[in-house]
C-alpha cells in the first residue's frame, strides 16, 4: 500500500441508526465530520464518562428529534443555540468531559457546562412502537443552550439549516466559535 492511499473506516455491523463503526473512539471532530459527510451511522464510544461509560454519537433523525441530524437542524444556526456545527461539537465535548451531571437515572443523563446541556439516553427504544431495542446503549440525543429561553430562539422551521449544500445536507465548517 502506498503512503497516499486513504483507508476508509469499515463498519463492524448494522444497527438501528445504520452502519456501526468503532474507529472513532475519543475522536470527536473526526466523528462529527464523518457523520456530517455520510448522514447515517452509529459511532461507538466517541465520548466517555467514568460513571456512565462509553457514549455513542449517532446521525439519528430530525423527524425523531434525536441525534446529530436533530441537533444540527433544530439547534444550529442564526438565532438558535449554536451559531455553527463546530461550536455545537465543542460544547457537547466540553459538557460531557468537563460538565456536571444534573440528572442521572436509569433512563438518561443530562450534562451541563456553562449553561449548555447535553442529553444522553441510556437505552434505545423504537420511536414508533416504544419497544426496547437496546437496554444498554448510551448515546447523545440532543444539546442546547439553557441560558436562553426557548421563546427567544428561532424555530427550526423558520431558518435554513446552517452550512448546508444545495441539497440541504449539512456540511462541516472550519471555524470554531
pLDDT in tens, 76-112: 999 899 999 999 999 999 999 999 999 999 999 999 9
Per-residue pLDDT, 3: 53
- Would the pLDDT of 66 be above 70? yes
Confidence of residue 173 (pLDDT cuts 50, 70, 90): very low
Backbone angles phi, psi at 100, to 5 degrees: -110, 150
**Whole-number pLDDT of residue 169:** 44
Residue in this structure with the C-alpha cell 446541556, named with its chain if needed? 117
Q: Which one has a higher pLDDT value, 21 or 150?
A: 21
Q: Are 43 and 24 in contact (CB under 8 A)?
A: yes
pLDDT given for residue 8 in this prediction: 84
Say if residue 174's pLDDT is above 50.
no
pLDDT at 22 over 90: yes
pLDDT at 130 over 90: no
C-alpha to C-alpha distances, 125 to 17, 107, 121, nearest whole angstrom: 12, 11, 10
Task: Give the domain ranges of the chain.
Answer: 23-152
Torsion 54-81-65-39 (CA) sign? negative
Per-residue pLDDT at 1 exceeds 60 = no
User: pLDDT grade, residue 175 (50/70/90)?
Assistant: very low
Of the two residues 2 and 138, the one the predictor is more confident about is 138
Query: Of 19-23, 30-34, 166-170, which gets the smallest average pLDDT?
Result: 166-170
Q: Which residue has the cell 463546530?
A: 86
> What cell numbers appear for 6 in the block?
486513504
The tally of CA atoms less than 13 A away on the side-chain side of residue 109 is 23
Q: Do 75 and 83 form a contact (C-beta atoms < 8 A)?
A: no
The residue with cell 462509553 is 54
Amino acid at each position: 500500500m502506498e503512503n497516499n492511499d486513504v483507508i476508509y473506516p469499515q463498519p463492524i455491523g448494522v444497527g438501528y441508526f445504520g452502519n456501526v463503526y468503532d474507529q472513532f473512539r475519543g475522536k470527536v471532530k473526526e466523528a462529527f465530520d464523518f457523520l456530517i459527510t455520510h448522514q447515517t451511522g452509529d459511532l461507538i464510544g466517541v465520548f466517555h464518562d467514568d460513571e456512565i461509560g462509553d457514549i455513542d454519537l449517532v446521525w439519528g433523525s430530525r423527524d425523531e428529534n434525536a441525534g446529530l441530524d436533530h441537533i444540527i437542524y433544530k439547534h444550529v444556526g442564526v438565532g438558535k443555540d449554536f451559531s455553527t456545527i463546530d461550536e455545537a461539537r465543542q460544547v457537547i465535548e466540553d459538557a460531557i468531559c468537563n460538565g456536571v451531571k444534573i440528572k442521572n437515572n436509569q433512563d438518561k443523563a443530562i450534562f451541563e457546562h456553562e449553561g449548555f446541556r447535553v442529553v444522553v439516553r441510556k437505552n434505545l427504544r423504537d420511536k414508533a412502537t416504544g419497544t426496547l431495542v437496546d437496554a444498554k446503549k448510551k448515546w447523545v440525543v440532543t444539546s442546547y443552550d439553557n441560558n436562553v429561553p426557548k421563546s427567544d430562539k428561532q424555530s427550526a422551521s423558520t431558518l435554513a439549516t446552517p452550512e448546508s449544500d444545495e441539497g440541504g445536507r449539512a456540511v462541516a465548517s472550519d471555524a470554531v466559535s
